[in-house]
Structure 1
Amino acid sequence: MTLKHYLLSAKKENLTLLFWLLVNTGCLLLHELLSSKAVTDLVALNLNQFLLNCAFILANSFIWMIQIRQVTTAREKAIQTMNTNIRKDISQTLADCHYQTFHQKDTATYTSWMTNDIQTIQDFGFETLELMIRQVLNVIGAAATLTLYHPSFLVSLLLLTALMGIIPKLFSVKLAEKTNDFSAKNEALTKTITDVLNGYDILKNAGKSNHISKKIEKASLLVKMSKITYARLFGTMMASQNATSFFSQLTVLTQAGLLFYLHLIPIGLVAQAQYFASITFAGLTGFFANYSELKTTAEIFSKFDLLRTPPSKNKCSTFVSDCYLKNISFQYGKNKIIQNFSLSFKKGEKISLTSPSGKGKSTLLKLLASQLYPQTGDIFVDGQTVDNLPLDQIVELVPQHLHLFDDSLRFNLTFGEPIPDDVLYRTLNDFQLDEFINDDLDRPLIKEGSDLSGGQKQRIALARAYLQNKPILLLDEATSAIDVNRAQKILDFLLQQPDKTIIYATHHLNQSDEQKFNQNLQFQSFINKSSI
């Protein structure tokens, strides 16, 4: 991801904006030239020519007013198109990256990327670049006019421009560092706000609601100090640039005075030289300062690229006969969760997996779902190794921690896939969701299902997983919040599906259910164990 890439992604919008910027520069330059000529004609008592120039100035001003309206709209279209493209690419990168890569950061960080960082790119990238283009156009127009007055001005302009270009280089590295620090502080603030507000009920119940403002204020102060530090450094650079600009303007004025003294230019051009010199060097001051800001966005784009994952050329898309986990191991840091564990099962088999809490059931299911990859050992599907290959086309996992989207019940069941209503209503019945059968499937769920019980959410999640129609279904304590009668009916329904391979992880399995499974595996741990 680069700034150039997104400028080109909105080529039409940016070309339209550039056109109106050119019109703006032309209007401003023409206004000054017409005003100067009108004064000259008035001094020469040429009234008709003076009035004609005034009419031209009026027409030019009308065009300039139209330009102001058009450039405002064109700017917003271009910026919003590029912002949308960045969000689209970040979200697609997140969608394509591996589960483990995604969870290296929390969702608050990604939220900050798609809000705070994009705002920074807009401020220091797109809007700054527009300013630079305006400045370049103004500088070119003013410098060309000065050169027409006398060629010696061109030499002075080139030398003084080179001098002004040195100062931003002295600050560019530090500015990039401060921008990165500000971005990190913004991420931390977003994370703190999300964390504290998610814990609102707990803090309120404990009588500690004052922690909400304290924690947010603390994180906000860090953002404040980071921004002030950046502003202080940027201000130092601008002060240096403006001092150089003042020196450059004085140099051109002195040169114009000498040229007049030598009778090489008329007295009227001395004032004009001062005016165009101020435009030139004020523009260069802004240009070089803005260029330093513009370069800081590269660090933000490089951060986005760290998540990019090369697309997998191979995928395991079929499950015909059997699956075999051979001597797999996995640990979090130094904590061994699974070591030298083996398991095999055939298509259509139903396996219960019982062990105490925190012993590795969820980790094992995540390994089977390719959300995690084994650090040692192999996984075989139909006799072929599938190490580090995504299994999402054949495996569906219903996790302990569920999420319902802030959308309709239909979307939460189908993910937007076109599934007929009769199939959906039949599935609602199969998963004991009778209370929704008479409801509108397109009715939005309230606040991500906050008005639903834990059991209702689990039943929706189970129905959703079933509708994915994958051959392997992994259930991680998937009925723990459902009342006993409904949970039993749902489990019986799933166990009666001949083409579904089901692994049911639970803390406790009723004895009456044991005979319904092909394998009943009970482990105190997954260290040096095998079901083969």
Structure 2
Amino acid sequence: MTISQSINALAGHHVATYLFYVILNLIAWVVLLYCGYYFVPKFEEKVVQIQSNYIRNQVMNRLSQTDFHQFHQKSSDVYVSYFTNDINRIQQEGMSALYSTINATALAIFSGLALIYFDWRLLVYAIVFGAFLTWLPRLFAKRMQTVTQKQSAANETYTGRLADILAGFDTFKQFNRSSLMVDKMQSTQDKVMTQNIAYTKQRGAMQANISMVNVLTQVGMSLLSAILFFNHDIKIGALFSVGTLSGLLFSSAATAAASYAQIAGTQAIFQKYQTIIVAPNQGHSIKTIKKITLQDVVVRFKNDDTIHFPPLTFLANQKYMIVGPSGSGKSTLLRVIAGQLVPEHGHVLYNDRPEELIDNQSLRQGIVFVTQTPYLFSGTLKENITLDRNIPEAQLRQAIKQSGLSEFVSEKGLDCQIKSGAENLSGGQKQRIALARGLALNCQVILLDEVSSAIDQQAAVAIERDILSMSNKTVLMITHQQHAAVLPLIDKVVSIS
């Protein structure tokens, strides 16, 4: 409107009035530019990061509440893509588009209200065709969701394949096949590229159609304002202002419309998040595990291999050594008892009660499973042992002693840092830490899967003797090295074949 007034003043040779509106227009632009390029983007980015962290926390919360079976339906690389590629897409196509919609809507409303200053018919025209522009993207919303979903799936696959390729660096290098890494990555990239192009193509088609309608509506507004001018309903200065305002209004409406379709496309990602199944904490709470029974248990793996276990019973406070050839199902047996694997057929009973009728959380509080390939994370030694639980000092020290970790703790201290992947530890040190973690929980049932395989024989015998001497613990221990010194402490040897 200041432009219109300045042109009218110039046409009437009112120099002072003309200069006043020019200065006023300049001040308005300075304020708008600083707000538009500094204050508003800074505020928006802060809000976007807060919202992104909230979404990540919600997704991780759902993942933390799923069970073993549901979690392992996908690889960890797929879940990494949830927190990286998908969040980036939500930021770019969802949150940023949302703020663009808000800004564009505010600008369109402002422009529409400014038009009524010149003639109410201009506002009516703007409302009718602005509404049409806003509705137009709904024609593309479903297709945008589809291409977004496919692009997200392609990124998941790419993340997993990339991690797999990089994990094989040593092997490729050793066999002088480093070029195979490039070939494998190229084939994976091609699939991602195809989906990215398909997404861009669909978005481009949508924006082209919206832009075409935008141009036509602005031409219509220009014709309407020209008719009003020839009828002496508006002044010549209004023609310039109406052209500027209509351009702002319909361009803003077009931006809001396109942003709406992009926002709608991200719904496919949120729908995927909702497919994470939260395991209900229902069933009977179990405090003391007196007996574990396997009844006709059959486990089927993803490659359709199966393991059929004979009827087995493990009694409280007894010590069992699980033996058998490699691949016979020893580790699988412990995973079934720990609740990490769900049998395809048969039942696992705790105190004669089927597992599906027992509260899983209470069951995990009574059983600890220590594997031969323990997971250690970046943090202090104490954090890795306690998992941030408030464990009494005496109980912690006892677990450190029983796991043969006392010398390491005396030398390094409980606050020593463990690197990501425990690269600064030997295999034996990793196993001792994992064993200390399991013993520190003071669970009634202890499942040990080759936990001393990387420890020298003398130390392994001492650790096994300490564990098997605990009279109030039920111990199931897998080992390929049957040390004669500990055999008298074994109540029963269970052979899996």
TM-score between both structures, scaled by the size of structure 1? 0.86
The answer to whether the 8 Å contact 2:145/2:264 transfers is yes
* 2:139 is equivalent to residue 191 of structure 1: no
Aligned-residue offset at 1:218:
2.6
Match among 38, 50, 69 for residue 100 of structure 1:
69
Q: Which deviates more, 146-155 or 478-487? A: 146-155
Aligned counterpart, 1:40: 8
* 2:486 counterpart SS class: helix
Aligned counterpart, 1:330: 299
Aligned counterpart, 1:472: 445
Distance 1:316 1:342, change over 3 A: farther
The answer to whether the 8 Å contact 1:405/1:448 transfers is yes
The answer to whether the 8 Å contact 1:370/1:388 transfers is no
Matches within 5 A, 1:2-401: 33-54=1-22, 56-57=24-25, 59-61=27-29, 63-64=31-32, 66-67=34-35, 68-165=37-134, 167-314=136-283, 316-332=285-301, 334-339=304-309, 341-387=310-356, 389=358, 390=360, 391-401=363-373
The answer to whether the 8 Å contact 2:70/2:277 transfers is no
The answer to whether the 8 Å contact 1:409/1:443 transfers is yes
Aligned counterpart, 1:443: 416
* 1:515 counterpart SS class: helix
Q: Which amino acid aligns with 1:202?
A: T
Aligned-residue offset at 1:66:
4.9
Match among 408, 412, 421 for residue 380 of structure 2:
408
* 1:437 counterpart SS class: helix
Moved over 6 A (4+): none
Aligned-residue offset at 1:517:
1.4
* 2:413 counterpart SS class: coil
Gaps of 5+ in 2: none
The answer to whether the 8 Å contact 1:147/1:153 transfers is yes
Aligned-residue offset at 1:364:
1.4
Q: Which deviates more, 162-171 or 449-458? A: 162-171
Cα offsets for 1:267-310 (capped at 9, x unmatched): 22222222111111111221211111110110001111111314
Aligned-residue offset at 1:163:
4.1
Q: Which amino acid aligns with 1:322?
A: K
Write the distance in 1 (CA, Å) between the matches of 2:14 and 2:232. Answer: 25
Cα offsets for 1:397-451 (capped at 9, x unmatched): 0123221111111111111223455654443333222133221322211332113
Match among 428, 453, 461 for residue 400 of structure 2:
428
Cα offsets for 1:128-168 (capped at 9, x unmatched): 01111111111111122223322222332244235434642
Write the distance in 2 (CA, Å) between the matches of 1:306 and 1:166. Answer: 30
The answer to whether the 8 Å contact 1:354/1:509 transfers is no
Q: Which deviates more, 201-210 or 58-67? A: 58-67
Distance 1:422 1:36, change over 3 A: farther
Aligned-residue offset at 1:87:
1.0
Q: Which amino acid aligns with 1:414?
A: T
Aligned-residue offset at 1:513:
3.2
Cα offsets for 1:1-27 (capped at 9, x unmatched): xxxxxxxxxxxxxxxxxxxxxxxxxxx
Aligned-residue offset at 1:59:
4.7
Distance 1:421 1:308, change over 3 A: same
Q: Which amino acid aligns with 2:261?
A: S
* 2:474 is equivalent to residue 501 of structure 1: yes
Aligned-residue offset at 1:388:
5.7
Write the distance in 1 (CA, Å) between the matches of 2:117 and 2:21. Answer: 21
Write the distance in 1 (CA, Å) between the matches of 2:177 and 2:21. Answer: 73
Write the distance in 2 (CA, Å) between the matches of 1:281 and 1:65. Answer: 21
Cα offsets for 1:249-277 (capped at 9, x unmatched): 11111111111222222222222222111
Aligned-residue offset at 1:113:
0.8
Q: Which deviates more, 284-293 or 41-50? A: 41-50
The answer to whether the 8 Å contact 1:472/1:502 transfers is yes
Write the distance in 1 (CA, Å) between the matches of 2:272 and 2:183. Answer: 30
Aligned-residue offset at 1:512:
4.7
Q: Which amino acid aligns with 2:376?
A: L
Cα offsets for 1:197-245 (capped at 9, x unmatched): 1111111111111222222233223222321222122222222221111
> Cα RMSD between the aligned structures?
2.2
Distance 1:166 1:321, change over 3 A: closer
Gaps of 5+ in 1: 1-32, 525-532
Give aligned pairs, total.
491
Q: Which deviates more, 373-382 or 76-85? A: 373-382
Aligned counterpart, 2:435: 462
Aligned-residue offset at 1:470:
0.9
Aligned-residue offset at 1:185:
1.6
Distance 1:443 1:35, change over 3 A: farther
Aligned-residue offset at 1:42:
4.5
* 2:465 is equivalent to residue 487 of structure 1: no
* 1:499 counterpart SS class: coil
Q: Percent identity?
A: 27
Distance 1:503 1:116, change over 3 A: same
Distance 1:385 1:238, change over 3 A: closer
Write the distance in 2 (CA, Å) between the matches of 1:461 and 1:440. Answer: 16
Write the distance in 2 (CA, Å) between the matches of 1:272 and 1:455. Answer: 79
The answer to whether the 8 Å contact 1:350/1:518 transfers is yes
Distance 1:63 1:246, change over 3 A: closer
Distance 1:41 1:238, change over 3 A: same
Write the distance in 1 (CA, Å) between the matches of 2:255 and 2:30. Answer: 28
